[in-house]
A and B are shown apart, each in its own frame.
Chain A
Amino acid sequence: MMRLLALLLSLAPAFAPQDRSVIVYARGDQTDTIDPQATDWGGSAKILVNIYESLVTFSEDGVDLVPGLAEKWERSEDGKTWTFRLRRGVKFHDGTEFNAAAVAFTLDRLLGRGANVPKSVPYGPQYADIDTVETPDAATVVIKLKAPSAVFLMNLAMFPAGIVSPEAVKKHGAQFGRNPVGTGPLKFKQWDPGVRIVLDRNDDYWGAKAKMSRLIILDVKDAQVAIQKLKKGEVQVVDHLALADIPGIEADPTLRMEYEVSMNVCYLGFNLRKAPYNNINFRRAVAHAIDRSKILRIAYQGRAEEARTLVPPSIFAPPKDLPVHAYDPEKAKEYLAKADLPAGFEAVIWHMTYPRPYVPEPDKLVQVIQDDLSRIGLKVRLEGFNVDIYTKKLRDLEHPMFLLGWSADIADADNFLYALLHGDSIGPLDRPSGTNHPFFNHPRFNEVVKAAQTEVDPAKRRAEYEEALKIYHEEVPTFPLAHVKQMAAASKSVKYNHHPIEYRFWGIEKVK
């Protein structure tokens, strides 16, 4: 045995010295396809934004929109016609020319028009306000909308609007998602599903070139092993961590933690169609009874910030005078008395039993809430559900209070307020199918949020959202709990600035 061990050890040294500029990024999730129009999966979006580009893109801080494949654009007086001037001389990774026809081809795919549409286009509805796409010349695209929209340009910056090479789509057909061709700073080299994705630097890129010659996205399921690989230098970044691993990483002089601005929210919802959750006094009692600082400490171990309102402050800075439900058990008891509950009433909270980006430990979180509510004399029963059925159960008209959250698709308040609280987002009233799980349907709220969608004056739009947030505070359809910071561990041998919305791997750089 010992001799064999010695023999094996003798094999050990002589590692092939790695190319200094190769970066290996370890992740825990997977990719379903590398076709931007065919997916809504976060594990795929991570890869897509490195290979494809859109007409416009997010600025470094994620707040503004800056030129991407379009150099400039203008909006008509009525806000319905947008004219984009395209960057010239840009080539797809397969050597074909990027031009207006490619933009029209991509938007057709996104809208489900023509022969080259993927099997499903999950984000298609988000672009349904596009009426026509015209290409007067090779460097101009004119997009006409059905109605003015304040979020149209933001939508164009999202990954589903990444411009694809028409030649490659026609050549590979249904297999395009495995043979992706875009214009981005990294180009596709190899995909070994469940093992790794290899991207190489696009040396012909029009903008600042990728910092590495090759990027390897490595699937490492076991977070422990991923961290060992990080310590050994086999990988440079690990993006799936257990909270318990963080102190060890912070203590290691060769490693550091990276935190990303949070663009998500975790909240406690109420079914507004069921008593007593539809009673405003009951909801205010719950809101005042919950100690969010304790939740942050116990269920997030400090890796989150307290949510003052539903929309994260990095997306929409709330007005200074926006009231919050401060932790106040006495006030909570007063409201609870007013709620006039039947004797022996037991409230119920439904929760998921699996971690989500906005809540790493849902079981712990609801236990804190249960404890807080018991202190004001409200008995609570917890019921957990697994991933298969939880969101389906929440469309059930009979659900009680529930724990849920949301991660931003785009950095706009509309993405939270419309999707989570607008009457349209309930779906058919008798058979709810949408993402408005509390079934909140407030006429004035609906009106201002809808108006903000087409409002092109930023000051007026801001006023509308401020009013919406005040109504949200008054009505408490859901109670905001926390905004979680996204985390990664990185070797100090690389420089990596997390972008708040996209995973811009091309910016990861080796340093001495």
Chain B
Amino acid sequence: MTSYIVRRLLASIPLLFVVSFLVFLLSRAGGRDPVDAILGEKGTPETRARVTREYRLDRPILVQYAHYLGGILTRGDFGVSYIMQEQPVGEQIGRRFPPTIELATAAMILAILIGIPAGMVSAIWRNTWVDYGVMGVSLLGISIPVFWLGLLLIFALGSQFPIGGNIDPSMIIEPRTGFMLIDSALSDEPGAFGDALRHLVLPAMTLATIPLAMTARITRASLLEVMGSDYIRTARAKGLTGFRVVSRHAFRNALIPVVTLLGLEFGYLLGGAVLTETVFSWPGMGTYVVDAVFQTDPMAICGASIVIATTFIVVNLAVDVLYAFVDPRIRYT
């Protein structure tokens, strides 16, 4: 198992090289003078000279890339975003990543807790009104545009829940971990944790919709397939109850495609849910990327893209490892 993980990690390295190089190339493309692009409108002759030196902009693109990558690998230095607040990109991402992880995790928990049981119910009572109902609702969940759903939820539940940000703005929470649920629990502002939790409700519901609906559908399909196999018939022939057949025999085998799906979805969500985060002013990677794109900040776009790609690769690896636990037949050597 360990050797498998190591091999997979090694295999990811060339992939990351390719991704980072492409992203880097794209951020330099577009015909703009890279100094202008990096500095925006603020370039005095001195800052221009410094940026040219700092990013080796007078050297060939490969040298620039090697220098940029070297900075990331040796010092975790993603360069400076001159356009957005003149801060190191690494620091900005470090602040924006935890809220996205928080939101994505909350959404995944909702998707698992509701999606899997819904899919099971649908499969067990196949072709009944329960099944039609669950599948109809899940089809709606997949089809509905999230920004619109977000606005709908704001109108419907906005009187019960706060509708933007991750904490009451008048509370001063010290960013110890960056995770608001943890920081608010540690802070001495009264009621901060509950407030952070309430702020999570609407964006998490919005973000959970698609993975939830897909989980329900895949769970149903996969479970139906497994239920049709011989060993299930054998189990039934032994006289086991329907519930035991599903829970002891069918469920675990049906989980593999569900785990794959959840892993992929989680990877996407960690990349920052651009629409949901924008609607709810969630201070995460999604809003960060939107700002970076609208302000055409190449350093920020490049850094964020590389971090998102890396996250995706790592989550995928984690999912593959998880298979082994779900299905004992899968052995990695």
Contact = CB atoms under 8 A, between A and B. Distances in A.
A218 B163 CA distance: 13
A306 interface: no
A229 B114 contact: no
Contacts of B113: 4
B180 to A, nearest CB: 11
Interface string B60-101: 000000000000000000000000111100001001100000
A321 interface: no
Interface stretch (A126-134, A194-202, A248-256, A414-422): A194-202
A343 interface: no
Nearest to B87: A193
B206 interface: no
A228 B163 contact: yes
B287 A194 contact: yes
Contact of B165 (A4, A14, A195, A388): A195
A193 B84 contact: yes
B283 A194 contact: yes
A127 to B, nearest CB: 16
Contacts of B195: 15-16
A18 interface: yes
Interface stretch (A5-13, A310-318, A457-465): A5-13
B191 A16 contact: yes
Contact of B164 (A33, A120, A229): A229
B266 interface: no
A305 interface: no
A216 B170 CA distance: 7
Interface string A9-27: 1011111101100101000
Contact of A12 (B44, B154, B160, B291): B160
Nearest to A193: B85
Contacts of A19: 170
Interface stretch (A219-227, A269-277, A283-291): A219-227
B169 A196 contact: yes
B281 A225 contact: yes
B194 interface: yes
A231 to B, nearest CB: 9
A12 B161 contact: yes
B197 interface: yes
A167 interface: no
**A15, A19, A24: most-surrounded residue (chain B CB, <10 A):** A15
B170 A4 contact: no
Given A192-B283, A222-B278, A229-B163, A11 B169 contact: no
A225 B172 contact: no
A177 B86 CA distance: 10
Given A177-B86, A194-B291, A234 B201 contact: no
Interface string A183-219: 0000001101111101000000000000000101011
B210 interface: no
Interface string B196-221: 01100100010000000000000000
B166 to A, nearest CB: 8
B312 interface: no
A190 B167 CA distance: 14
Interface in A380-417: 388
Contacts of A427: none
Interface string A222-265: 10110011001010000000000000000000000000000000
A425 interface: no
Given A16-B168, A194-B288, A228-B154, A32 B279 contact: no
Interface residues of B, number: 53
B151 to A, nearest CB: 7
A180 to B, nearest CB: 13
A11 B201 contact: yes
A195 B283 contact: yes
A348 B96 CA distance: 45
A219 B281 contact: yes
A209 B195 CA distance: 31
B42 interface: yes
- Of the listed residues B32, B118, B151, B172, the one surrounded by the most CB atoms of chain A closer than 10 A to its CB is B172
Interface in B148-174: 151, 154-155, 157-165, 168-172
A120 B42 contact: yes
B280 interface: yes
Given A189-B172, A193-B84, A9 B92 contact: no
B190 interface: yes
B283 A225 contact: no
A445 to B, nearest CB: 29
B47 interface: yes
Contacts of A194: 84, 96, 283, 287-288, 291
B163 A232 contact: yes
B105 interface: no
26 contacts: A4-B110, A8-B205, A11-B197, A12-B160, A13-B160, A15-B198, A16-B191, A16-B192, A18-B170, A30-B84, A30-B85, A31-B85, A119-B47, A177-B86, A193-B95, A194-B96, A194-B283, A194-B287, A195-B281, A198-B169, A218-B165, A221-B281, A225-B151, A225-B281, A228-B155, A228-B158
Interface of A: 1, 4, 8-9, 11-16, 18-19, 22, 24, 30-33, 119-120, 122, 177, 189-190, 192-196, 198, 214, 216, 218-222, 224-225, 228-229, 232, 234, 388
7 closest A-B pairs (Cβ-Cβ)?
Answer: A12-B160, A16-B191, A195-B283, A216-B169, A22-B170, A120-B44, A193-B85
Given A119-B44, A195-B283, A198-B172, 19 more contacts: A1-B118, A11-B201, A33-B85, A33-B86, A119-B46, A120-B44, A177-B86, A192-B283, A193-B87, A194-B96, A218-B165, A218-B169, A221-B287, A221-B290, A222-B279, A225-B281, A229-B164, A232-B163, A388-B32
